[in-house]
Amino acid sequence: GEDVEQSLFLSVREGDSSVINCTYTDSSSTYLYWYKQEPGAGLQLLTYIFSNMDMKQDQRLTVLLNKKDKHLSLRIADTQTGDSAIYFCAETPYSSASKIIFGSGTRLSIRP
Amino acid sequence: GAVVSQHPSWVICKSGTSVKIECRSLDFQATTMFWYRQFPKQSLMLMATSNEGSKATYEQGVEKDKFLINHASLTLSTLTVTSAHPEDSSFYICSARPPGVNSPLHFGNGTRLTVT
């Protein structure tokens, strides 16, 4: 079946890098996404990567995709207090382009 | 970039009343929109797929008579929670996908519904 898993919590010191990890089971995934959800708000698309890419960088964000291990990571450089949020990993399976499967979300907290 | 607008942001209603939530795609046309429900500290649960000009497709376990979906135009989908009860209190989020092969989903800001 199709499943996306990620750890529930991550605590990082301000200024350090945050690395949020995600694993998925569908080897035919087309797009893999990272969304950010701040308290009481909807989901904000941070970045996404097509499954034929290995890496994508956008300012402080770096996405790494290891297709062999079905592992996706999001690295946030120079983590700031405004980065505190829940980060959701998601995938669109090739079998259904209209369907998106979310992980449970990783709550990132920043300590001074 | 693509924007999805959701209204209202929050609503409080009494048990037994109905509440309508709107989802609009502001700068693109969406033949399909999606409605999710999110429980506290949990991920999103897909409730239904809203199809312009035809009936919505509901996920297993979602009561179609309870959660009425209408996709009246290419930029508007509405979710009506009928005869609301306290257990319907939740965070409801819509999303839409701009045209283009495998374009990413964009989400509204969500509606927090509290039923008293």
Predicted confidence at residue A92, as pLDDT, reads 82
Q: How many CB pairs under 8 A join A and B?
A: 46
pLDDT given at position B106: 86
Q: How far apart are CA B40 and CA B38, in angstroms?
A: 7
Collect all residues from A whose CB is shorter than 8 A from any CB in B: 30-31, 33, 35, 40-45, 48, 50, 88, 92, 97-100, 102-105
Band of residue A69 on the pLDDT scale cut at 50, 70, 90:
very high
Do the Cβ atoms of A106 and A10 come closer than 8 Å?
yes
Torsion of CA B15, B18, B8, A47, to 10 degrees: 100
Instruction: Name the pLDDT band for B1 (thresholds 50, 70, 90).
Output: low
Share of chain A above pLDDT 90, in %: 65
Contact B20, B91 (CB under 8 A): no
Q: Using the predicted structure, report yes or no on whether residue B26 has a pLDDT greater than 80.
A: yes
Whether the predicted pLDDT of A99 surpasses 80 = no
- Tokens found for residue B29: 């046309």
SS3 A19: strand
With CA atoms as reference, report the closest residue to A75 among A44, A106, A100: A106
Between the CA of residue B82 and those of A77, B37, B115, what are the distances in Å?
46, 15, 11
Token pair for B114 = 């509290």
Is B24:B50 a contact under the CB 8 Å cutoff?
no
Q: Record the tokens describing residue B88, joined without a space.
A: 């319907």
pLDDT tens track for A7-23: 999 999 999 999 999 99
Does the CB of B11 have a partner CB in chain A at under 8 Å? no
Whether the per-residue pLDDT at A56 is higher than 90: the answer is yes
Rounded Cα distance, A19 and A21, in Å: 6
Q: CB–CB of A31 and B102 under 8 A?
A: yes
**Residue A31 pLDDT class (50, 70, 90 cuts):** confident
Separation of alpha carbons A43 and A32, rounded Å: 15
Strand, coil or helix: what is B88?
A: helix
Chain B: residue whose CA lies nearest to A47: B104
Local confidence band at B105 (pLDDT 50, 70, 90 cut-offs): confident
Q: Note the maximum CA span of chain A.
A: 44
Length of chain A: 112
Q: In this complex, is the C-beta atom of B99 within 8 Å of any C-beta atom belonging to chain A?
A: no
Distance CA B94, CA B110 (A): 7
pLDDT of residue B101: 65
Mean pLDDT of chain B: 90
**Burial (Cβ within 10 Å: 0-12, 13-18, ≥19) of residue A67:** middle
Q: How far is A70 from chain B (nearest CA, A)?
A: 19
pLDDT in tens, A35-49: 999 887 888 889 999
